[in-house]
A and B are shown apart, each in its own frame.
Chain A
Amino acid sequence: MLSFDAAAARALDTAAASGATYADIRFEDGRSERIEVRNGVLATLSDATSLGYGIRAFYDGAWGFAASSDLSDAGLDATAAQAVAIAKAGAAVAARRFAEAPTDRHVDEFATPVARDPASVPLGERVALLLEAERALRTTPQVRAGRAWIDLWRTDKSFYSTIGSRIVQRIYQTGSGISALAVGADDAQDRTYPGDVGLYQTGGWEIVEAAALTENAQRIGEEATALLTAPQCPAGELDVVLGSSQVSLQIHESCGHAAELDRVMGWEANFSGTSFLDPAQLGTLRYGSDRVSIGIDNLMPRGLASVAYDDEGARSVRSDIVRDGLLVGFEMSRDTARTIGRETNACVRASSWRSVPMVRMCNLSLAPGDVPFEALFDGIAHGIYMESNRSWSIDDHRLNFQFGCQIGWEIVNGKRTRLVKNPTYAGVTPQFWNACDAIADAGSWVAWGTPNCGKGEPMQTGRTTQGAAPARFRKVRVGVGYDG
């Protein structure tokens, strides 16, 4: 790993000399490898490195952020001075102060536990795996596009601050997946595996092996084909069982974003919106049924956002957002936490060295329930089991949502029966989570990573995990979008 001690000292000295009363600098040395096979052709085989730093400077209650890939002395000085100049420009028009300088200092190192370093897997072996998996998808003539991919990300982060923090972290994030597009006379149907974007977790090559792409490819190709001739999902008020990756998406959209405290405070108002949640509701809002507990664990094994310290140098902790159905917390930074009299729960991330750190949902998961997966169908006279997200939309307060899945099965008298296509469902966030009356046990709980969470301006693509098990919801509006 590169050492940035000298460069950090220079930049922070320059920031202080320029007037900053606090400053920190985050170096990131990242390597991203992507391999994608499409219809038997290697459509992407890319090996990218990116090295740079972002400096946050604090001046008179305002932050300035400047980022550069220029590691020369002149580049460090110019970027540090620019960060301070930006802070001063912001302070000059600030009618109110959002920020205070941090006071906690940490000196530490961390590395993601890795069973097999992806770099030790020959490139030829990685390519061969994808070619084989993608070929196995194309089991019928209707499969017009087969895809298989692997993403390998290694990021070395070095964080320093003017109050003496020095935090060095090496993070491995790995993902892979397959998808099949089947095309019929007047229809096209997608199937993706695992989940709806693949399996993305922290760790090494073992994450790709756990995905078992080749072993599942034939089934995925056949399901995409079968959907072309499957009946349309029934519409009406029905009971619904969601597969674990769809529950993960449901958490992400209707709890994860809703409980970002910067959003609650209006910091995202012009773009991704605000939230129906309010700090005054802490401890009183019945967010979900008493089966529903959702919490942050930014140290959990395989969590895509698992690190020891966040991107403003705060130590990772575990904290509850929803406990036994009650709203009890938010995802917070230092500045946002202070507004409600709390300490940060270290939910700040930047998508790269060039991005300004912001509040993220990080590893936010639904606690598993206490029944086997198949028992979720018990007691359902008529319902739908849905898997793998296809469509997701929610309003800018995170209340009115409509989601669609790639595949569904009708449930009749407690049994999963025929395949149905285009399953959709809609609801309003608290009512929906209060309609949850059963969650499957830990045996079917998966730490689903989301590698493409969009937020902020300029848009940042965050990496989060929403662990979940399949869950049952009663009297849900099903079939929206296809019901005339």
Chain B
Amino acid sequence: MDRSARETLATRLLNVAGEGQLEAVVHDEAVALTRFTQNAIHQNLAERDTSVRVRAIVDGRTGVAVTNDLSDASLRAVVERARAVAAFAPREVDAAGLAVNAEPAAPPRAFVAATADASPADRARIAADAIGAVERAGLWAAGFVTTSRSGLTIANSSGTLVSFDGTDSGLNVKANGPDASGFAERYSGDVAALDGNALGALAAQKAVSGAHPAAVEPGPWTVILEPAAFGELLSHLTEHFSAQAFDEGSSFLCDGLDRAYMGPSVTLADDFAHPLFAGRPFDFEGYPTRQLPLIANGVAKHVVTDATWAKKLGLPNTGHGLPAPSASGPEPEHIVVSGGEKTLDQLIAETGHGLLITRFWYIRSVDQRKTIVTGMTRDGTFEIRDGRLAGAVRNLRFNQSILEALNHVEFSSTQQRTAGYSYNIVTPAAKIENFHFTSTTDF
């Protein structure tokens, strides 16, 4: 559904007669994914849906109803359901109102037609390239190729009407050998950036280098985390930048802003317009999203807000709201880590004894306030001796405070976008001292 059709639909919803204020969110999404394993495609799918979400505010009471049935009767019914639900909600005397905004500008190349129009054959071709590169190394490949398009329109009875159309694509390759595996990934709004041959070869090279891993002792190590590893680690810090966590006391920032919590090498921002993201310029309440410094040279500068939390804490609305009302609070969705001066190779060359880590797996919070997390290495962990890679090692489990790690960190110069379940981060590689491993494995 194109922008014009979404805006027509949203306007129809607002015109359903009745009491109170209305907000209509129209979301149209098409996702296709081709998944492969053992050098063949085993899952191949396309999903398409258009849904509408109506928020009704009647006499200070809020109700929400959602449907993907776009018939006239259903659209009338979804508005009536939202109003009916609102009648049972307690009145909020201090509730934030609806957005009153003009549409903010989308970043360049947020929508790429070639990605939106990619066919099953296009995805199969990229998959085949990746499989071929891995197979030529005598290994087997697993991974996916995905392309998607997403259109969002938000309109409300205060006059806001904003729309955004974006595309995304990704290639994920894991090369598997008898006793080792390697990994490579690439995400871009433009499917032309996905090079199956190159990524397949990179994953294969990791797996070949990872053969015959040796056991090393757990304990404190100097580590160099490649972007996929550091991004997953850092994703467990993002919720701390929510105004809700900040106010309620579950965030490490609860001692206040304008204080140093990390080393001076750390600068983090939330930036939807970064070229590697090219994301949506407004939040799910229709407010413009600010490009926001979160940590500047180790010092906390901002938390992100939505309409509710901005009003509650007397802060500016930074436009990081989820569909309202949200029990989860606002969230930064586009974390960018600033790069350093040295290349990854230089960081390795300057390391006397350490580990180069490709990727982490299953990181979970152990202690929220202390930012202690645990997780495993996977898909390529290598020992560094005297500035050179000296062979693969078996996987290890770590228990580490992220804040402590960020007090002893140096970043490489080249940023990369990495993604996983519920996160999307642009980051360079990170060299961290005294990273704590607590156990090992036999693979």
Q: Which residues of B contact A158 (CB under 8 A)?
A: none
Does B157 interact with chain A (Cβ within 8 Å)?
A: no
Q: Are B47 and A396 touching (Cβ within 8 A)?
A: no
Given contacts A183-B248, A393-B364, contact A86 B44 (CB under 8 A): yes
Q: How far, in whole Å, are A481 and B34 apart by their CA atoms in the complex?
A: 39
Pick the residue among B40, B64, B82 that contacts A95 (CB under 8 A).
B40
Q: How many residues of B contact A (CB 8 A)?
A: 83
Q: How far, in whole Å, are A300 and B49 apart by their CA atoms in the complex?
A: 33
Q: Are A45 and B88 touching (Cβ within 8 A)?
A: yes
Q: Which residues of B contact A96 (CB under 8 A)?
A: 38-40
Q: Are A42 and B90 touching (Cβ within 8 A)?
A: yes
Q: Are A391 and B124 touching (Cβ within 8 A)?
A: no
Q: Are B66 and A46 touching (Cβ within 8 A)?
A: yes
Does B201 interact with chain A (Cβ within 8 Å)?
A: no
Q: Which residues of A contact B34 (CB under 8 A)?
A: 89-90
Contacts A42-B325, A69-B68, A396-B362 aside, 6 further interface pairs with beta carbons under 8 A come to A62-B41, A89-B44, A183-B248, A400-B439, A402-B399, A480-B438
The interface centre, meaning the residue of A41, A42, A267 with most chain B CB atoms within 10 A of its CB, is A42
Q: Which residues of B contact A70 (CB under 8 A)?
A: 48
Q: How many residues of A contact B (CB 8 A)?
A: 85
Of residues 108 through 157 on chain B, the ones whose CB sits less than 8 Å from some CB of chain A are 119-121, 123-124, 127-128, 131, 140, 142-144, 146
Does A153 interact with chain B (Cβ within 8 Å)?
A: no
Q: Are B374 and A454 touching (Cβ within 8 A)?
A: no
The interface centre, meaning the residue of A144, A396, A400 with most chain B CB atoms within 10 A of its CB, is A396
With CB as the reference atom, state the residue of chain B lying closest to A50.
B68
Pick the residue among A46, A65, A422 that contacts B43 (CB under 8 A).
A65
B77 → chain A closest CB, angstroms: 9
List the 10 closest pairs (A to B, CB-CB), nearest first. A183-B249, A48-B66, A43-B327, A89-B120, A269-B142, A90-B41, A270-B174, A65-B45, A270-B142, A481-B399
Q: Which residues of A contact B179 (CB under 8 A)?
A: none
A residues adjacent to B (C-beta < 8 A): 36, 38, 40-52, 62-70, 79, 82-83, 85-90, 92-96, 98, 123-124, 127, 131, 144-145, 147, 149, 181, 183, 186-188, 190, 265-267, 269-271, 273, 354-356, 358, 391-397, 399-400, 402, 404, 422, 424, 426, 454, 457-459, 480-482
Pairs across A and B, CB under 8 Å, 9 listed = A45-B85, A48-B67, A65-B44, A70-B48, A82-B46, A267-B43, A273-B378, A396-B362, A399-B441
Q: How far, in whole Å, are A400 and B144 apart by their CA atoms in the complex?
A: 26
Q: Are A391 and B38 touching (Cβ within 8 A)?
A: no
The interface centre, meaning the residue of B50, B327, B421 with most chain A CB atoms within 10 A of its CB, is B327
The interface centre, meaning the residue of B43, B174, B363 with most chain A CB atoms within 10 A of its CB, is B43
With CB as the reference atom, state the residue of chain A lying closest to B74.
A49
Q: How far, in whole Å, are A266 and B128 apart by their CA atoms in the complex?
A: 18
Q: Which residues of B contact A66 (CB under 8 A)?
A: 45-48
Q: How far, in whole Å, are A43 and B43 apart by their CA atoms in the complex?
A: 38
Q: How far, in whole Å, are A438 and B138 apart by their CA atoms in the complex?
A: 47
A401 → chain B closest CB, angstroms: 9
Q: Are B45 and A395 touching (Cβ within 8 A)?
A: no
Q: Which of B12-20, B313-321, B365-373, B404-412 contacts A (4 or more CB under 8 A)?
A: B365-373
With CB as the reference atom, state the residue of chain A lying closest to B42.
A98
Pick the residue among B85, B362, B367 that contacts A422 (CB under 8 A).
B367
Q: Are A391 and B64 touching (Cβ within 8 A)?
A: no
Q: How far, in whole Å, are A123 and B40 apart by their CA atoms in the complex?
A: 50
